[in-house]
Amino acid sequence: VKAGESEAAINFLNALPPGEEARILAQLSLDEQQAFLKLLDGEHAAWLMETLPELQAAQLLSSLSPEQAAHIVDEMNSDEQVDLLDQLPEEQSEKILEVMNPEEAENVRFLSKYTSLCAGGLMITELLSFEESQTVDDVVSDLRQNAERYAEYNVQYIYVINHDLQLVGVLRLRDLLMAPPGKRLSSLMIPSPLCVPDSTSLQELQHFFDSHPLFGLPVVDEANVLVGVVRREDVEEAGEEQAGKTFLRFAGIMGGEELRSLPLKIRSARRLSWLSINIVLNIVAASVIAMYEDTLSSVIALAVFLPIVSDMSGCTGNQAIAVSTRELVLGVIRPRDWIYVFKKEFALGMVNGLALGLLLGIVAYIWKGNAYLGLVIGGALAANTLMAVCLGALIPMVLKGFKLDPALASGPILTTITDMCGFFLVLSFAQAFLPLLT
Amino acid sequence: VKAGESEAAINFLNALPPGEEARILAQLSLDEQQAFLKLLDGEHAAWLMETLPELQAAQLLSSLSPEQAAHIVDEMNSDEQVDLLDQLPEEQSEKILEVMNPEEAENVRFLSKYTSLCAGGLMITELLSFEESQTVDDVVSDLRQNAERYAEYNVQYIYVINHDLQLVGVLRLRDLLMAPPGKRLSSLMIPSPLCVPDSTSLQELQHFFDSHPLFGLPVVDEANVLVGVVRREDVEEAGEEQAGKTFLRFAGIMGGEELRSLPLKIRSARRLSWLSINIVLNIVAASVIAMYEDTLSSVIALAVFLPIVSDMSGCTGNQAIAVSTRELVLGVIRPRDWIYVFKKEFALGMVNGLALGLLLGIVAYIWKGNAYLGLVIGGALAANTLMAVCLGALIPMVLKGFKLDPALASGPILTTITDMCGFFLVLSFAQAFLPLLT
């Protein structure tokens, strides 16, 4: 790839199956990406930028001269322009804006007032709006005349505004199609249409599109002036990006997206930031074992069961966390329903605790031939399972009650507590039965 | 709620904020739900059914007489009718179909030929199709005449068919709007439009809608006859439902959705099915400890560090799993890129392994004042971290390579191996340095 010429490179890219370019390009080093980019014209380069993960695209862009960068950014879609320039230091993005096509640059400046995860940051400004006094014929002839210009627009609705540019109505294309030609928009439109202020959060937008089968939602500023349209697909894309970050955070990777093409220093630090907390939690939990060293040295077999009890309880508790998290998302429970949830989980904890306790107790009994060891291990696991299940069910509800994200903190809180309790239950039961175990 | 009268009940429901009904109704017992349902008319009852989680709706429906059930199902949307009746035993759903409105029943029978997670099962049959020889004017006047009937349709595209009902083209409403009235559809339509066979899987549909900004996709049978339209929103809804089940499976809940309103027996069994596998994996891993009982009883402090090392390595490995899973989804890596991934993770594993090993080694040294203990513990954690990171990165790729779902099996495979290796490394290092540790 590196040594190829312009035409060969483009042919090569075109020959790749879809999805392959992104994969191959993302794995190249920055130098190689740069060399490759130079072989492409503006349009191809813009497409490449949109194909790369955002983080890498920004890195690549910032390695170019402002003129080269501006040339590429000019060719991109307005919302992607903003997203990409947002990733650069302000000084650098300002330099690029200065040499960009002035009209494009002004639009980017307008859109970049907004943070990326609100309606203003997600909206596009390409929309069709007409005044309420116009007729169906006016609109249809304008559409026919400007068909070429509008071809790039993703038109689903026509927005109706008044003299002050305020949004007063919305018109579906089908209503326009089915209406008599002389009719005024004001008598055809759906008045007072659904719209959102430009500050609406991504979460609210997701909620909106989940409960309304619409493809776009008009966005207004404080004066009710129509400023843009948020499209369903952009909200979904932003939602997926967020979900990706949440997925990584859930597995203990903080501070944003990780891709293997990032420098080792960043990747290592992002992973260590959670690992270093986790090791402290682990040391705290394991310190319970240290307090029972005497008991442990009398019955060394206990050491085999400590990790089993703690891991099993973490697992049982995580099941309850998952069900609570899911029920909270589905809206079938709320934080104040904790008594209902507690009753349900208590019953389940009793059943599953007895089942698992019996199983592990029998294993312990068979292994060492000591029924009391079985009783100690089985009893500890049963009790810890009951506790883990109840705790796992309630932790996400408590966090949600305090407006915290249950997905993130529930797991670590649970496992630290179940580890400590598991160690404590096994070792204190053992201490109580010590003469019978040795 | 239970004792209320019809009107009071409806007023009560109407007064609730959106989302509340589902929550309150889902928490009622089956008897209470039944009593409540009797107070509502057909339309309200259908709405309630659609609001309840599918599993509960099916339970509730099967508790009614076929006539009562048919009365409610008649009022529902076609795709929801099929989904709901699918949940019932065939005998029962057949009885309901017999007393339903014959036209509705026939449509349900046609749609229920398909499994729910393919294009045929997800499509709707309400669509606008015209013959290719018709003109723009023909279509527009038909639309105007039938405006009322089509009002319930979610029209985005007009499908063009030939004499044999085969799909030959698609027309966007905007093309129709912008076209001269006398033009024939055959010269205006986009010919050979994108379409899918009715057997297309949900995953393929999701992939399609991800990469195409379309709102609906025509579905054809083997003879290329247009049979329905799959809408983006239905694919997304089905995808979310699947994702919910995957989320629960990921946390170890098998065999389908769990809601707390389900009977205890089902909930307990679904959770135990994974827990019983997990306890066996745990016992296998912990059996490594049993082989080193002598070493352990000489240096009882090791028992404190065993759970720490195994848990930390599980955690580090899970981070690598998350990054690989995400990169596989994003398409920036493929199973055959394992050498690239291995190199990247090996470097990271060295750095993070040394950092964590140093940290825990120092803790061990300070606690017992024995530098060799620190060396054993730190060295074991460092080595196990390196292994966990490389393994965690590669396991999802191997599973994906064998066309298995990496989300599900990666975690348990990883933690079983890292537990065993962690125990083995700590205890075998300790055995090697035994004279220096006591």
Is B301 close to A290, i.e. CB distance below 8 A?
A: yes
Residues B422, B302 share a domain: yes
Interface test with A, best of B298, B321, B323 (most A CBs within 10 A): B323
- Determine the residue type at B288: V
Residues B75, B145 share a domain: no
Q: What is the signed CA dihedral for B292, B295, B301, B306, rounded to 10 degrees?
A: -20
Residues A221, A148 share a domain: yes
pLDDT tops 60 at residue A18: no
Task: Quote the pLDDT of residue A112.
Answer: 81
Does residue B250 lie within any of the structural domains?
no
CB-nearest to B23 from A177, A333, A348 is A333
Helix, strand, coil abundance in chain A, percent, nearest 5:
70, 10, 25
Q: How far is B69 from chain A (nearest CA, A)?
A: 24
Whole-number average pLDDT of chain B: 84
pLDDT in tens, B73-112: 888 877 778 888 888 888 888 889 898 988 888 888 888 8
pLDDT tops 70 at residue B22: no
Residues A196, A83 share a domain: no
List of E strands, A239-297: none
Look at chain A and report how many structural domains it folds into: 3
Q: How far is A214 from chain B (nearest CA, A)?
A: 9
pLDDT-derived band at A15, boundaries 50, 70, 90: low
The burial of A382, by beta-carbon neighbours within 10 Å (0-12 exposed, 13-18 middle, 19 or more buried), is given as: buried
Does residue B95 lie within any of the structural domains?
yes
Is B306 close to A308, i.e. CB distance below 8 A?
A: no
Q: How far is B281 from chain A (nearest CA, A)?
A: 9
Chains A and B form CB pairs within 8 A to the count of: 286
Across residues A295-307, what is the average pLDDT? Answer: 92
Does residue B48 lie within any of the structural domains?
yes
Q: How far is A12 from chain B (nearest CA, A)?
A: 18
Task: Quote the pLDDT of residue B3.
Answer: 47
Task: Quote the pLDDT of residue B65.
Answer: 87
Task: Quote the pLDDT of residue B16.
Answer: 63
pLDDT tops 50 at residue B1: no
DSSP state of A190: E
Residues B155, B285 share a domain: no
Find the helix or strand (DSSP H, E) in which B267 lies: helix B264-290
Across residues A407-420, what is the average pLDDT? Answer: 86
Residues B297, B379 share a domain: yes
Six token digits for residue B106: 């026939």
Residue after which a domain boundary falls, among A113, A139, A163: A113
Residues B84 and B73: beta-carbon distance below 8 Å: yes
What is the residue range of B227's domain? 129-240
Residues A327, A377 share a domain: yes
CB-nearest to B312 from A26, A279, A304 is A279
Tell me the HSE value of A424 on the side-chain side, using a 13 A CA sphere: 13
Reduced to 3 states, what is the DSSP secondary structure of residue B107? helix
Angle (CA) B393-B395-B398 rounded to 5° is 115
**Contacts for B194 with CB less than 8 Å, ≥ 6 apart:** B170, B208, B212, B214, B217, B218
Residue after which a domain boundary falls, among B113, B139, B169: B113
pLDDT tops 90 at residue B384: yes
Does residue A291 lie within any of the structural domains?
yes
Tell me the HSE value of A310 on the side-chain side, using a 13 A CA sphere: 29
pLDDT tops 90 at residue B247: no
pLDDT-derived band at A245, boundaries 50, 70, 90: confident
Is B248 close to A323, i.e. CB distance below 8 A?
A: yes
Q: How far is A329 from chain B (nearest CA, A)?
A: 10
Backbone angles phi, psi at B129, to 5 degrees: -130, 145
Residues B381 and B250: beta-carbon distance below 8 Å: no
| Adjacency order of strands within the sheet including A190-191 | A129-131, A157-161, A167-172, A190-191
**How many percent of chain A have pLDDT more than 70?**
92
Q: Could you give the CA distance from residue A401 to residue A338 in angstroms, rounded to a whole number?
A: 10
Is A293 close to B301, i.e. CB distance below 8 A?
A: yes
Measure Cα distances from A419 to A399, A429, A434, B269 in Å. 20, 15, 22, 24
Which residue is associated with the tokens 């890596």? B333
**Contacts for A420 with CB less than 8 Å, ≥ 6 apart:** A284, A285, A288
Measure Cα distances from B92 to B30, B37, B414 in Å. 18, 19, 45
Backbone angles phi, psi at A220, to 5 degrees: -120, 155
Residues B430, B298 share a domain: yes
Maximum mean pLDDT: which of A125-139, A163-177, B349-363, B397-411:
B349-363
Lowest mean pLDDT among A50-59, A270-279, B274-283, B372-381: A50-59
Q: Identify the closest residue of chain B to A148 by CA–CA distance.
A: B178
Task: Quote the pLDDT of residue A397.
Answer: 93
Across residues A332-343, what is the average pLDDT? Answer: 88
- Name the packing angle between helices B42-51 and B78-86 (round to 10°): 70
Task: Quote the pLDDT of residue A249.
Answer: 75
Measure Cα distances from B78 to A136, B82, B238 in Å. 34, 6, 15
Does residue A252 lie within any of the structural domains?
no
CATH at B431: 1.10.357.20
Give the pairing type, strands B157-161 and B167-172. antiparallel
- Determine the residue type at B88: L
> Which chain B residues contact residue A290 at CB under 8 A?
301, 304, 367
The burial of B14, by beta-carbon neighbours within 10 Å (0-12 exposed, 13-18 middle, 19 or more buried), is given as: exposed
> Which chain B residues contact residue A177 at CB under 8 A?
140, 143-144, 173, 176-177
Q: Identify the closest residue of chain A to B341 by CA–CA distance.
A: A260
> Which chain B residues contact residue A274 at CB under 8 A?
315, 319
Q: Which of A51, A48, A101 is nearest to A71 (CA)?
A: A101
- Determine the residue type at A26: A
Residues B329, B231 share a domain: no
CATH at A201: 3.10.580.10
Q: Could you give the CA distance from residue B178 to residue A142 in angstroms, rounded to a whole number?
A: 9
Does residue A251 lie within any of the structural domains?
no
Q: Identify the closest residue of chain B to A342 by CA–CA distance.
A: B260
Task: Quote the pLDDT of residue A351.
Answer: 95
Task: Quote the pLDDT of residue A1.
Answer: 43
Is B307 close to A279, i.e. CB distance below 8 A?
A: no
Which residue is associated with the tokens 């920004």? A58
Give the pairing type, strands A226-231 and B129-131. unpaired
Is A340 close to B260, i.e. CB distance below 8 A?
A: yes
Give the pairing type, strands A226-231 and A167-172. unpaired
Q: How far is A360 from chain B (nearest CA, A)?
A: 8
ipTM of the complex: 0.71
Reduced to 3 states, what is the DSSP secondary structure of residue A89? coil
Residues B324 and B417: beta-carbon distance below 8 Å: no
Q: Which of B224, B397, B231, B226 is nearest to B326 (CA)?
A: B397
Is B286 close to A304, i.e. CB distance below 8 A?
A: yes
Give the pairing type, strands B196-197 and B216-220. parallel
Across residues A106-128, what is the average pLDDT? Answer: 83
Interface test with B, best of A50, A178, A183, A338 (most B CBs within 10 A): A178
pLDDT tops 90 at residue A145: no
Q: How far is B139 from chain A (nearest CA, A)?
A: 10
Q: Could you give the CA distance from residue A385 to residue A409 in angstroms, rounded to a whole number?
A: 20
pLDDT-derived band at A313, boundaries 50, 70, 90: very high
Across residues B398-407, what is the average pLDDT? Answer: 83
User: DSSP letters along A114-160, please?
Assistant: S-TTBHHHH-BS---EEETT-BHHHHHHHHHHTHHHHTTS--SEEEE
Q: Identify the closest residue of chain A to B328 by CA–CA distance.
A: A23
Name residue B400's beta-bridge partners.
Answer: none
Angle (CA) B51-B255-A358 rounded to 5° is 125
pLDDT-derived band at B427, boundaries 50, 70, 90: very high
DSSP state of A178: H
Q: Which of B205, B226, B54 is nearest to B127 (CA)?
A: B226
pLDDT tops 50 at residue B121: yes
Residues B380, B309 share a domain: yes
Q: Identify the closest residue of chain B to A381 by CA–CA distance.
A: B279
N-term to C-term CA, chain A: 71
Residues B279, B198 share a domain: no
User: DSSP letters along B368-409, please?
Assistant: H--HHHHHHHHHHHHHHHHHHHHHHHHHHHHHHHTT--HHHH
Six token digits for residue B395: 């396991």
Measure Cα distances from B216 to A401, B103, B114 in Å. 39, 25, 19
pLDDT in tens, B313-333: 999 998 899 888 888 877 778
Residues B400, B269 share a domain: yes
Residues A190 and A199: beta-carbon distance below 8 Å: no
Task: Quote the pLDDT of residue B151.
Answer: 64
Q: Which of B104, B47, B52, B95 is nearest to B74 (CA)?
A: B104
Residue after which a domain boundary falls, among A48, A83, A113: A113
Does residue A238 lie within any of the structural domains?
no
**How many percent of chain B have pLDDT more than 70?**
92
Which residue is associated with the tokens 């955070």? A249
Backbone angles phi, psi at A241, to 5 degrees: -60, -45
pLDDT in tens, A181-234: 888 888 888 888 889 998 898 888 888 887 776 778 999 999 999 988 898 878
Lowest mean pLDDT among A212-216, A298-302, A311-315: A212-216
Q: Could you give the CA distance from residue A22 to residue A4 in angstroms, rounded to a whole number?
A: 18
N-term to C-term CA, chain B: 71
Is A268 close to B22, i.e. CB distance below 8 A?
A: no
Across residues A240-260, what is the average pLDDT? Answer: 74
Backbone angles phi, psi at A132, to 5 degrees: -65, -25
Task: Quote the pLDDT of residue A388.
Answer: 96
Which residue is associated with the tokens 């507590």? A417
Does residue B249 lie within any of the structural domains?
no
Is B287 close to A304, i.e. CB distance below 8 A?
A: yes
Six token digits for residue A255: 């501070």
Across residues A48-66, what is the average pLDDT? Answer: 81
